[in-house]
Amino acid sequence: MRRRTVLAAASTLLTAGCLGAGGGDGPSGPGLVDTDFELVDAGCGVERESASVSASDGVVTVAGTTTAPNGCYTAELADATDADGELRVVVAAVEREDVQGCAQCITELDYEATATFDGGLPERVVVVHRSRGGEREVASVAL
């Protein structure tokens, strides 16, 4: 039994090293460890797509506004990908299934998304909005 335990532990360590979780020949660079998303406000407005990016103490914050065709929509974090020194944040306006009788107006969806990194920040942040039948890059910021 002890041999199996040792082999399992060695296998885990070897796998972790291959995935960048342990040692290696050079620095592993920053790694995305957590994301959070909050819909801050929603209400009638105008078609508007904007986002601002800030970073401090290993956390990237994206505050933005995307729009939807009516009040039956909400915003959600569709994707957050960290690759090749770039954080790509995709925010999507999605139709809610839990409501009836929605306001029939262009709806502004204000949100805040955060991405927490271990080992430093990415070099660039790109913010994309997926709404009104399309996908648009609304911010590209070097950190």
- Range of the structural domain that residue 83 is part of: 30-142
Establish if 54 belongs to a structural domain: yes
Establish if 25 belongs to a structural domain: no
Averaged pLDDT score across all residues of the chain: 84
Least Cα distance to 126 among 97, 76, 90 occurs for: 90
Cα 50 to Cα 42: distance, rounded to the nearest angstrom: 15
pLDDT band at 3 (very low <50, low <70, confident <90, very high): very low
Residue 68 has pLDDT above 80, yes or no: yes
Establish if 123 belongs to a structural domain: yes
Instruction: State the pTM of this model.
Output: 0.78
13-66: pLDDT as tens digits: 333 333 333 333 334 557 999 999 999 999 999 999 999 999 999 999 999 999
Domain count, the chain: 1
Tokens representing residue 19 in the block? 């995935």
